[in-house]
A and B are shown apart, each in its own frame.
Chain A
């Protein structure tokens, strides 16, 4: 134990790390994202496989929540129909800021195979809510889910928290 401690901790008795508060906050935010899983169709089965053995989605610090009020991001996994679209919008609006959206699979990205004749299919969930990360595939492989999650973490860790307007050049 003593040897391991020395290897792991070169600064005896704890050390000091200098950095920006923003980076610290973003580091924490990006490593523990709770998600509202919105399983709609086939992609939800791949997402179940993603959550189970072999892939273990929770190692990204993600915990599934069943209430939108506790969620940091929402995963739209499957075909969004017109009947479902207004529910997705309501659930997205119920989520607390900051909030993110991952669109999983061809159907929710663009309508997918139902693009041409799907008279009851929304042609992309980005028509009703803003999407941060698109995961392609029909359905995507679990490895694609991992890549999507890494991309979302990357996006969160680069975001501005303070002086947003100044950085954007609005003021």
Chain B
């Protein structure tokens, strides 16, 4: 498994005509409505130009017109696969501005629902990555397990996908009596399926041949482009805001930051990026178990929610570790109940920008896998 798949462009130029191909905006493998304008020499990709804006839903305009509480549902619809994680940095930013100290129970509940949603996000990411490589069974396995997570989040918040569960100073609703036991059952199911997926997909020799040595992203390029999340960690850079900045109660948990180690392929290739996600699911399971054990039973999660939010004049930037990478919110307040300006720093948008850099010189079929290994969601790219 040491063959180099990247074609040397000097030798591949056989005086053939370069052809420009459109991938998308509607294509099952573009993970949304991304359009890639690809220039190919024979079957070798020489240039990739991503075209954005097919899902531009005027997020920042809405933020200027809505009150602070009304913005939370729109934040759900940015990265719609991990809505719980999206809401967190936003409410953290407002709590910082209002100087609210949320109760312990709320912090633990936030950790649990966010880590559950992180598992659900990585399940979709790995499942669709397998789908891109031609493996359909892992998709069915992961979606079977994802549904159990969704059911828990639905019982808590009332919605299956876009939860609107976080509130400034608390949560929308308290936990239900069997919550802790159900979460632990789901964690056991996630672990069992992951053990199966290891044999079925991850160490499958066909999958390794398709993904190892494909789309190598060196740590230097990843840092220069501002990548974050599993894309950066797949390149061997151990950067995780949960550990490095330790917001909320993350400093109380014992967990590792998985990085690409290059046990198959080389560090920074598609296989390693994917492997980071699988390992992160295990780490999320560990965090959930510790959080369930430490979570206090008494306490009202809705007690500190203010009826009307008026943020004092000023600005704040708050970021958190999303499944896709760092998600940051920069809020400028003018002293009213609506923000003057709200800018979101989406991880998918930044991670997408390395596609032209890392996909040059590979086969056209590998481009789809490189895109799948980056794990973008177009709601967050276009916003």
Could you list which residues of chain A lie within 8 angstroms of chain B, going by C-beta atoms? 37-42, 44-46, 48-49, 52-54, 66, 78-79, 81, 83-84, 87, 91, 113-114, 116-121, 138-139, 141
Contacts and interface: CB of A to CB of B under 8 A. Distances in A.
Contacts of B143: 48-49, 52-54
B33 interface: yes
A41 B77 contact: yes
B351 to A, nearest CB: 19
16 contacts: A41-B32, A41-B33, A42-B77, A49-B150, A52-B144, A53-B141, A54-B144, A66-B28, A81-B54, A81-B56, A81-B57, A84-B54, A114-B57, A119-B58, A121-B57, A139-B161
A27 B80 CA distance: 38
Contacts of A79: 55, 57
Contact of A41 (B55, B62, B147, B150): B55
Contacts of A52: 139-140, 143-144
Contacts of A81: 53-57
Contact of B162 (A48, A116, A121, A139): A139
B144 A53 contact: yes
A54 B147 contact: yes
A84 B25 contact: yes
A46 B74 contact: no
Q: B77, B140, B150: which has the most chain A beta carbons within 10 Å?
A: B77
Nearest to A82: B56
A102 to B, nearest CB: 16
Contacts, number: 93
A52 B128 CA distance: 12
Contact of A117 (B33, B58, B73, B162): B58
A45 B80 contact: yes
B124 interface: yes
B80 A120 contact: no
B146 interface: yes
A91 B26 contact: yes
Given A45-B161, A48-B143, A79-B57, 10 more contacts: A37-B28, A39-B26, A39-B32, A40-B54, A41-B57, A45-B124, A53-B144, A54-B144, A78-B55, A118-B62
Query: Among B73, B161, B162, which residue has the most Cβ atoms of chain A within 10 A?
Result: B161
B77 A53 contact: no
Given A53-B147, A84-B33, A46 B57 contact: no
B140 A53 contact: yes
Nearest to B78: A42
Interface of B: 25-28, 32-33, 53-58, 61-62, 65, 73-74, 77, 80-81, 124, 139-141, 143-144, 146-147, 150, 160-162, 378-379
B297 to A, nearest CB: 32
Contacts of A54: 143-144, 147
Greatest chain A CB density within 10 A among B27, B33, B124 is at B33
A87 B25 contact: yes
Nearest to B378: A41
Contacts of A87: 25-26
A113 B140 contact: no
Contacts of B55: 40-41, 78-79, 81, 84
Contacts of A66: 27-28
Nearest to A118: B58
Nearest to A141: B160
Contacts of B379: 41-42
Contacts of A41: 32-33, 55, 57, 77, 80, 378-379
Contacts of A78: 55
A54 B144 CA distance: 7
A42 B161 contact: yes
Contacts of A48: 124, 143
A117 B62 contact: yes
Given A81-B54, A87-B26, A119 B74 contact: no
B44 to A, nearest CB: 24
B59 to A, nearest CB: 9
Contacts of A119: 58, 61
A69 to B, nearest CB: 14
Contacts of A39: 26, 32
B28 A40 contact: no
Contact of A49 (B56, B80, B146): B146
A46 B27 CA distance: 17
A118 B144 CA distance: 35
Contacts of B73: 113
B144 A83 contact: no
Given A54-B143, A118-B58, A121-B57, A38 B26 contact: yes
A83 B77 contact: no
B376 to A, nearest CB: 13
B322 to A, nearest CB: 16
